[in-house]
Amino acid sequence: MTAATTVVPAAERRASRGLWTDAFFRLTRNKPAMLGVVLIVLFVFVAFFAPLLAPYGPLEGTLADRLQPPGAGHPMGTDLQGRDEYSRVLYGARVSLVAGVASVIMGLTIGGLIGALAGGIGGKVDTVLMRVVDVLLAVPGILLAIGIVAWLDRGLPQIMFAVAMTNAPIFARILRGSLLSLRESDYVTASRSVGASGPRLLLRHMLPNSLTPLIVAATLALATAIIDVAGLGFLGLGPPDPRTPEWGTMLTDATKFLRQAPWLLFFPGAAIVISAVGFNLLGDGLRESLDPRMKR
Amino acid sequence: MLKYIARRLLMAVPVLIGLSMVLFAFIHLLPGDPATAILGQHATPERVQAMREYLHLNDPLWQQYLNYVANLLHGDFGISVINGQPVLHEFLVRFPATIELTVAAMIFAAGVGIPLGRFAARHAQRWPDGVVTVVSLLGISIPVFVLGLTLQYIFAVQLKWLPASGRIDPRAHLVLQTNFVLIDSLLSGRIDLFIDGLAHLILPAIALGSIPLAIITRITRASVLDVANEDYVRTARAKGLGERRIDGRHVMRNAWLPVVTVLGLQVGGLLGGAVITETVFGWGGVGRYVVDAINNRDYIVVQNVILIFALVFLVVNLVVDVLYAFLNPRIRYS
């Protein structure tokens, strides 16, 4: 799992340009991962430039135009309130991107802190923190998120925090696991024996080498975060303003008009799937390129 | 073996204590007075006072917590504010529906995923493998609600092959005894209702099972490929054994363990996924109960259903671990 224990074949060792550069070149040769990058770039581009790309505002529409099928004026049709579905899907990327990325960063911060303290200090701190992690993992992910949103009330920051808390215990376990395996490695023992202090050992030597599994997990978590945010929206726990263009909330309307307006399902649904596929492809590619032993 | 089970049970105790503390805090950290928060702004002062007494809000906090735990240990998981029914009773009435759905999803995921993974491994790096990889990628990338609604649209709305929602035809008069539709229909000798129940189960089970299906396919493929490169498989091939025999006797026997572990790990995800699947398909299980409770701000129901869910999850994990230790002696002694 770690760089220290990876056996690099002699031929590759000569050509090595460092772990990260090597990984980067391996990644660029990985076609599915590059497709993932393209999808992610598309997703981020749409999120950033939604106001320029969208022909209408996300809240603009008249009841006279309601439930129109896809056509010239509205490439993805219109919704229940006569709003342009295409514009709303584009704007929806903003909510998903912000909520997805923020929740993963929040989860990484909380989980990373718990994992670093548990794996770095060990002993009683480890025992207590890992029991906390066990408690969080005892509740199935989406149910934990639902409980947190129910408790903190609806709102985008609450949703981000809720999704972050479903990821945090997983990140904590991953980081703790790789730190524990590093503690016994030769180079850590060596730096300890020349008198490196605890914090220095942890920050300078152990953490940088235990990041690879965390990076992979975080990339894959972006896919599930986008899905979970939409899931909360679908259950009616999305942003408090029901007019907000959020993919999951938009799908709630689709359930009521599946027969008359199936486009209300297909377009927001496809948007969620495309962004999730992007992050899943990149995550798998990163795993393979950061850990050369994974290659088949 | 008994020692292992005892150790695992002991490990669950701190988790349960921690969880009960978190859920206790859940009610007490609600904004404002907990009794008012639970009953809503329009509750009469008498009802608020009764709720304050029920929650023992005038006692010190530690005593309130001990009281909460004592109630739980006596099987009192609180009462719904909306309909006055005990939470445990409501949970038990609905749980069979969730079990039926979860088990069906698991059977679908394992029944399709394992053969699919073996098939991909047999054709590794060729086009059938690529197709399976794409299918499993889509499986983990399509949210349960998108897949569920899509299946509903295709098979119920357009083709009219299968029912769109519910557990059974609403016109059917089925006497519920166990609350398992499939079992009750057989008990009352109604094969037609059994078939109707199965038909209602197919789409939700596929929607809920899609993520585990993808994961099981991937793990089976990787596990079979791992074992296929072992020396003893090469030896078996070298001594002239047929491919079928190698596959059955040498590869799969050793490839099972990671697959079994992953099967167990999926149960938690399935219970969570059931919450959303039940909402899509109007399935009257525990998931719907939680979602309705949240929309009604019935906090006591939310608090305790989460606790019961976690209990179920812990028990399932324990059973999986024990089974796994039974299958793999190396685990027991570690």
Closest listed residue to residue A107, CA positions, set A99, A119, A118? A99
Q: What distance in Å separates the CA atoms of residue B312 and residue B19, rounded to the nearest whole number?
A: 13
Please check whether residue A273 touches B, CB under 8 A.
yes
Contact A235 B144 (CB under 8 A): no
pLDDT tens digits, residue range A103-125? 999 999 999 999 999 988 888 99
CB atoms near residue A134 (< 10 Å) = 18
Q: Which of A184-193, A226-235, B304-313 has the highest mean pLDDT?
A: A226-235
Helix (H, G, I), strand (E, B), or coil: what is residue A61?
strand
Ranking A25-39, A243-257, B184-198, B309-323 by mean pLDDT, the lowest is B309-323
Helix (H, G, I), strand (E, B), or coil: what is residue A78?
strand
B149 vs A contacts (CB less than 8 Å) = 251, 254-255, 258, 265, 269
Contact B306 A147 (CB under 8 A): yes
- Which residues, in sequence order, are CB contacts of A111 under 8 Å at separation 6+? A167, A168, A169, A170, A171, A172, A175
Is A83-294 CATH 3.40.630.30?
A: no
Helix axes B2-28, B61-73, angle to 10 degrees: 130
- The domain ranges of chain A are 83-294
Which chain A residue has its CA at the smallest distance from B152's CA?
A: A258
Residue B212 has pLDDT above 60, yes or no: yes
For chain B positions 98-137, those within 8 Å of chain A (CB to CB) are 124-125, 137
Look up residue A262 and give its two tokens: 């199936």
Please check whether residue B138 touches A, CB under 8 A.
yes
Look up residue B120 and give its two tokens: 């991909």
Please check whether residue A295 touches B, CB under 8 A.
no
For chain A positions 198-237, those within 8 Å of chain B (CB to CB) are 223, 227, 230-231, 234-237
Residue A129 has pLDDT above 50, yes or no: yes
pLDDT tens digits, residue range B75-100? 888 888 888 889 999 999 999 999 99
Q: What is the pLDDT of residue B59?
A: 83
pTM exceeding the 0.80 threshold for the entire prediction: yes
Testing the interface with A: which of B145, B271, B306 to mutate, by most A Cβ within 10 A?
B145
- Span A149-168, mean pLDDT? 90
- Span B217-236, mean pLDDT? 88
Q: What distance in Å separates the CA atoms of residue A59 and residue A88, rounded to the nearest whole number?
A: 8
Please check whether residue B210 touches A, CB under 8 A.
no
Which chain B residue has its CA at the smallest distance from A137's CA?
A: B310
Please check whether residue A131 touches B, CB under 8 A.
yes
The angle subtended at Cα B98 by Cα B97 and Cα B101, nearest 5°, is 90
Look up residue B48 and give its two tokens: 């608020």
Distance from CA of B71 to the nearest CA of A (A): 21
Q: What is the pLDDT of residue B80?
A: 86
Contact A142 B273 (CB under 8 A): yes
Q: What distance in Å separates the CA atoms of residue A141 and residue A247, rounded to the nearest whole number?
A: 20
Q: What distance in Å separates the CA atoms of residue B142 and residue B220, rounded to the nearest whole number?
A: 21
pLDDT tens digits, residue range A66-99? 888 898 888 898 888 889 999 999 999 999 999 9
Q: What is the pLDDT of residue A3?
A: 45
Binned at pLDDT 50, 70 and 90, residue B137 comes out as very high
B297 vs A contacts (CB less than 8 Å) = 150
Look up residue B229 and give its two tokens: 């490169």
pLDDT tens digits, residue range B11-30? 888 888 988 998 888 887 77
Complex prediction ipTM: 0.87
Distance from CA of A248 to the nearest CA of B (A): 9
Closest listed residue to residue B300, CA positions, set B5, B71, B17, B58? B71
Which residue type is seen at B247? D
Q: What is the pLDDT of residue A16?
A: 62
- Span B230-259, mean pLDDT? 82
Q: What is the pLDDT of residue A8?
A: 52
- Backbone phi, then psi, for B166, in 5-degree steps? 85, 175
